[in-house]
């Protein structure tokens, strides 16, 4: 049983490859290393004590992708490759539509050509936009509010159409909430080119002393401490969700969405405090204006994933912060 992981060297991809290898799955990875490092896959192989062919390939390169499929008999694809910055997607929508949507179309055409119809797709809670009710169930309306979110929503729709056209296809649309943390080994984690935008990597860099203070975006939200609440999910739990989703698509047909979150929310201040506890460092912060486009609360209803994928997040925020901190202290410059 062999699985192709696109974006296998990325933050999520490296953790997914590690958990697949640990579960005894044969993995083939592709990555264009645009936002990732070949060092990540070397470490994954060392941690798992297993081999994994990795191709330096861009999904837009049809011939190169076809060569990967021709070299390896594949049973399924876990599709994680894509650009993921909301802000950049607003500034450069065409780059996002071309890379995320066109690249994915090339992948789907190649899958069809080689008779591979099982897919786990990396979607995002971003597809819900500002959801009307919390926690968010998968049936909530899809109304993304930025180009990045629209690329995810479009790919979900394309996959549903593909499953309708060919009933042998099977797809799990995994809608991630806020992935954070690192593998407990401290050997793989989130590597940034430049300053991090997401909360946990930003806090980590402040704790390490490379940034001065955390800007807390908004302190008058209708939440107990006034700061925004999110559903942070440990990257290893998220990765294990992919292993379970893979098992599910291999035994089913049709397309279905699953929220990957914990169902439990924490505020920005709670995350800062948790990080202070695990790192033993004081984390300076500054209360600033809200970030445009942010919502007060975003929480998953993960019951579908629990029921149908037999998956549930088990790690809490202290473990998440401790693992992020171990990765940071072991690798002050990431993979560089």
Report the residue closest to ligand UD1, judged by CB. Answer: 228
Q: 117 vs 129, which CB is nearer to ligand UD1?
A: 129
Contact 262, 313 (CB under 8 A): yes
Between 57 and 214, whose beta carbon lies closer to ligand UD1? Answer: 214
Neighbours of 153 (CB within 10 A): 20
* SS3 of residue 256 by DSSP: strand
Our CA angle for 118, 234, 11, nearest 5°, is 65
Catalytic (active site) residue 148: yes
Give me the residues that bind ligand UD1 (CB under 6 A), please: 86, 124, 126, 178, 197-199, 202, 214-217, 228, 230, 268, 291, 293-294, 298
**Residue 66, burial from CB neighbour count under 10 angstroms (0-12, 13-18, 19+):** middle
In the sheet where 118-124 sits, what is the strand order? 54-56, 26-31, 2-6, 76-79, 118-124, 170-176, 254-260
Residue number, 228 or 241, with CB nearest to ligand UD1:
228
Respond yes or no on whether the N-terminal peptide bond of residue 171 is cis (omega within 30° of 0).
no
At 31, give phi and psi (nearest 5°).
-160, 145
Q: Which is nearer to ligand UD1, 97 or 217 (CB)?
A: 217
Bridge-based pairing state of the strands 266-267 and 229-230: antiparallel
* CB of 124 vs ligand UD1, minimal distance in Å: 4
Min CB(249)–ligand UD1 separation in Å = 22
Closer residue to ligand UD1 in complex, CB, 168/286: 286
Catalytic residue among 148, 176, 221, 266: 148
Taking the complex as a whole, how short is the minimal distance between the CB of residue 276 and ligand UD1, in angstroms? 15
**Minimal distance, residue 69 CB to ligand UD1, in Å:** 29
Tokens of 261: 């979150």
Q: Least separation, in Å, of the C-beta of 198 and ligand UD1?
A: 3
Show which residues are catalytic: 148
């Amino acid at each position: 049983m062999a699985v192709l992981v696109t974006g296998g060297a990325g933050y999520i991809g490296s953790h997914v490859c590690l958990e697949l290898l640990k579960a005894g799955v044969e993995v083939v990875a592709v990555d264009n290393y645009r936002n990732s490092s070949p060092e990540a896959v070397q470490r994954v192989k060392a941690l798992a004590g297993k081999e994994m062919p990795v191709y330096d390939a861009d999904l837009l390169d049809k011939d190169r992708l076809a060569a990967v499929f021709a070299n390896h008999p594949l049973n399924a694809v876990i599709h994680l490759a894509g650009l993921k910055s909301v802000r950049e997607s607003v500034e450069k929508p065409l780059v996002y539509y071309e890379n995320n949507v066109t690249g994915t179309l090339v992948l789907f055409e190649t899958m069809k050509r080689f008779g591979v119809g099982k897919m786990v797709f990396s979607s995002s809670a971003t597809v819900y936009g500002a959801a009307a009710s919390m926690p968010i169930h998968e049936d909530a309306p899809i109304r993304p509010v930025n180009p990045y979110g629209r690329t995810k929503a479009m790919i979900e729709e394309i996959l549903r159409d593909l499953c309708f056209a060919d009933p042998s296809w099977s797809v799990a649309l995994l809608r991630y909430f806020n992935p954070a943390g690192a593998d407990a080994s401290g050997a793989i984690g989130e590597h940034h080119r430049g300053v991090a935008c997401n909360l946990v990597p930003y806090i980590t860099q402040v704790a390490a002393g490379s940034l001065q203070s955390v800007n807390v975006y908004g302190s008058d939200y209708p939440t107990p401490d006034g700061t925004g609440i999110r559903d942070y999910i440990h990257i290893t739990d998220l990765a294990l969700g992919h292993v379970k989703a893979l098992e599910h698509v291999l035994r089913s047909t049709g397309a279905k969405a699953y929220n990957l979150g914990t169902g439990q929310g924490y505020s920005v201040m709670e995350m800062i405090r948790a990080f202070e506890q695990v790192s033993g460092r004081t984390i300076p912060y500054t209360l600033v204006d809200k970030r445009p486009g942010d919502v007060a609360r975003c929480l998953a209803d993960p019951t579908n994933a629990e029921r149908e994928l037999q998956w549930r997040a088990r790690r809490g925020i202290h473990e998440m912060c401790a693992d992020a901190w171990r990765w940071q202290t072991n690798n002050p410059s990431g993979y560089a």
